[in-house]
Amino acid sequence: MSEGKTLPTQGNTRTMNIDSILFTNITHSDYMFKTLGSIHSISDLIDIIINDVHYISPYIQKSSSSPSTAFCVLLRLFQLNPTPDDIRMMSTHSNKYVRCIAALIIRYSIQFNLLLSYLKPFVDDRAVVNISLHGEKTKQIKCLVKDLILEPKFEGCILPRIPQVYYKPLLEFFKGTSQPNSHELDEDSLTSFSDLKKFVQYSDHHQREHSRPPTSNLRYSRSCRQRSSYRERSRSDSRERRKNYYEERRYDSRKN
């Protein structure tokens, strides 16, 4: 990762490569103009993220024109010209939404040949974040980052296209990581009631699954019982036939 004072960006230095409609909506929003316009330091912006960002979709839920707080903060962060050290610090911050904003600015603006080195801190990040406002859709940060690389859009908004020469090694790397799994929850990553609820539900389900005998064993056991029952019936029938045979012979001998 570069140690220079300037973040090694690519593409449009004004829009951060955000699609034009979303960029226009952000720059014309009251929140961007009235609240974030007076923020001039990274540390103050991080405080805003901690207090105000609770989900990371580009738009406010059920709106196609009102940008989310997260994306307003994202563009403002880009406008403050963060250094590589700033992004590194945010990538390992204790607040999961600060880390998400760092991942987003990396995906939208960092030079393609440096994407992997900047995104590696997120590969094992199992913290669960809200994608939508009320937590109807959640995702682990590591899965979010994987989707940001492998998918062409994020929540309906076009992501900067990665040239094939850089995309292939990224594809190989992220395909080799664990598959996205919204149920793979870590107790240490729980920071909200909704996270805790999901963890409890998953734990109960996991416990029930492991308390059941394997299906194959059940089938084997059932099959054994069926065969055993069949053999018992066969033996009983055989004994009955032999008994009838000998009784008939005795009767015939007495008759003669």
> Whole-angstrom distance between the N-terminal and C-terminal Cα of the chain?
110
Asked if residue 248 belongs to a domain, the reply is no
- For residue 13, the model assigns a pLDDT of 93
Residue 134's pLDDT band, with cuts at 50, 70 and 90, is confident
Residue 56 lies in a domain: yes
What is the average per-residue pLDDT within 36-55? 95
Which residue, 8, 15, 12, is CA-closest to 112? 8
For residue 5, being part of any structural domain is answered with no
Q: What DSSP line would sit under 49-82, residue for residue?
A: HHHH-----SB-TT-SSSB-HHHHHHHHHHHT--
Q: What letter represents residue 115's amino acid?
A: L
Mean pLDDT of the chain: 80
pLDDT above 70 (res 251) = no
In a domain, 253, yes or no: no
Mean pLDDT across 45-61: 94
Say whether pTM exceeds 0.75.
no
Which range marks the domain in which residue 46 is found? 18-110+117-176
- Min mean pLDDT across 102-111, 127-136, 223-232, 236-245 is at 223-232
In a domain, 213, yes or no: no
**More confident: 233 or 42:** 42
Judged by average pLDDT, the poorest of 40-54, 83-97, 193-207 is 193-207
CB of 189 within 8 A of CB of 126?
Answer: yes
pLDDT at 250: 65
pLDDT higher than threshold 70 for residue 195: no
Look at residue 174 in the predicted model and tell me its pLDDT.
86
**E strand intervals along the chain:** 128-130, 138-140, 153-154, 157-158
Q: Report d(CA 65, CA 169) in Å as an integer.
A: 35
Q: Which of 95, 140, 148, 91 is nearest to 120 (CA)?
A: 91
Task: Report residue 152 CA to chain centroid gap.
Answer: 17
Residue 140 lies in a domain: yes
Lowest mean pLDDT segment, chosen from 143-147, 186-190, 207-211: 186-190
User: Which parts of 142-185 are beta strand (E)?
Assistant: 153-154, 157-158
Please say if the pLDDT value at position 93 is more than 90.
yes
Kindly state whether residue 46 falls inside one of the protein's structural domains.
yes
User: How many domains does the chain divide into?
Assistant: 1
Q: Bridge partners of 154? A: 157
Please determine, for residue 16, whether its predicted confidence score (pLDDT) is greater than 60. yes
Any domain includes 36: yes
Q: How confident is the model at residue 70 (pLDDT cuts 50, 70, 90)?
A: very high
Which is more confidently placed, 24 or 177? Answer: 24
Rounded CA separation 255/209 (Å): 69
As a whole number, mean pLDDT of residues 134-149 equals 91
